[in-house]
Structure formats: C-alpha cells, structure tokens
Structure 1
Amino acid sequence: MPIEWKLFADLAERTGDKHVTVDAAAGDTVGDALDALLAEHAELEGRVLDEEGDDLRSQINVLRNGTNVREEEGLETELEEGDELALFPPVSGG
C-alpha cells in the first residue's frame, strides 16, 4: 500500500518535493515507512536521525494522521491503509 509523507521546511527543500510516496505493507510500522523514505532520500538521514543513526533526533516530529507518534507507540506505531505521515523539523519563531 502506498503511504504518503508530507515534508516541511528544509526537509522538503532537501528532497525537492513536499510529498513523497513510499511503499508499505500491512503490519508495517512508522519506522518501516521512515526507513523507506530515507532509502530513497539519503540526504534526509543526517537531519532526521541522531548521531548513532538509529533513532529520531529529539527535535524532529513525526505525525500520523495529525497525531505525534510519540503519543502513540513511537516508530513502532503500526500503519493502516490511508494513513498520512508528516515529518517536521524544529520550528523557531521570531
């Protein structure tokens, strides 16, 4: 099933697109969809993952259908048909 990522701010600039679709299967997790996104767009890896490369940077937010996955099961949150994922970098106001 296709899963669409919405990318914001410099993340969209790095990929050249605000919408990226990746393939996911039933039972896949948000982490699996993130792995698929990073496999296609390695330029995001250093911006999104921590120094060890195995977890999200603390200031990066991943939303599934508008809800931060940290409020669910994090990257282990299971995907469902029609889910929409969003990746937000830190935002600063001024």
Structure 2
Amino acid sequence: MSTEWKLFADLAEHAGDRHVTVEASAGDTVGDALEQLLDGRPELAERVLEDGELRSQVNVLRNGTNVLVEEDGLETELGDGDELALFPPVSGG
C-alpha cells in the first residue's frame, strides 16, 4: 500500500515536490511514513526535525486530523489510502 504526503510552504521546496508517495505496509505508523519521507532528503529533515525529534511547531495531519493532538501522534497506525500532510511552523503577527 502506498501513502501520499502533501507538503506545504517551504517544506515542498525542501522535498523537491508538493506531493511525495511513500510505501507503507500493514501496521506501519505515521512515524514510519515520515521516516521514509525524510530518507534521502536532508534539507527537509533539517527543517522538520530537531535533535532527531519532530519540531514542536510542525503539524502532521492524517486525513485532515492532527495526529499530534487528536490521535496517537507518530504512533498512529496508517490505513489504506490515508493522506498525510506536513505543515511547517507558521510565524506571523
């Protein structure tokens, strides 16, 4: 099964595309899919991770739901056809 990541703002620039498909297996988690996304994309990993952990301001959505708030975080299990989205820290004023 494959899962598609949608990347927003500068994350798409760092990844080289706004849509990236990764392969997932039954029982894989959002964290597994994130690891695949970042593999071979050091600039993206640098923007999303800090000391090997997800930056606190980064939002990860699965089918429109923030997994860090409403589900089991990066341990959330993937389902067939899930759509994942990664949003960078947003600053403003």
- Alignment TM-score, normalising by the size of structure 2: 0.93
SS in 2 for 1:47: helix
CA separation in 2, counterparts of 1:28 and 1:34?
11
TM alignment of 1:35-54, pairs within 5 A: 35-50=35-50, 52-53=51-52
Counterpart position of 1:76 = 75
Between the two proteins, what is the percent identity of the paired residues? Answer: 75
CA separation in 2, counterparts of 1:43 and 1:24?
23
Counterpart position of 1:90 = 89
SS in 1 for 2:21: strand
Provide structure 2 residue ranges, at least 5 long, that are not aligned to the other structure: none
Query: What does the per-residue CA deviation read over 1:36-80, in whole Å, with 9 as the maximum and x for residues that have no partner?
Result: 001132221111012x21x21000000000000112000000000
CA separation in 1, counterparts of 2:49 and 2:91?
19
Matched positions, count:
92
Question: Comparing both structures, which one devotes a greater share of its residues to strand?
Answer: 2
Counterpart position of 1:61 = 59
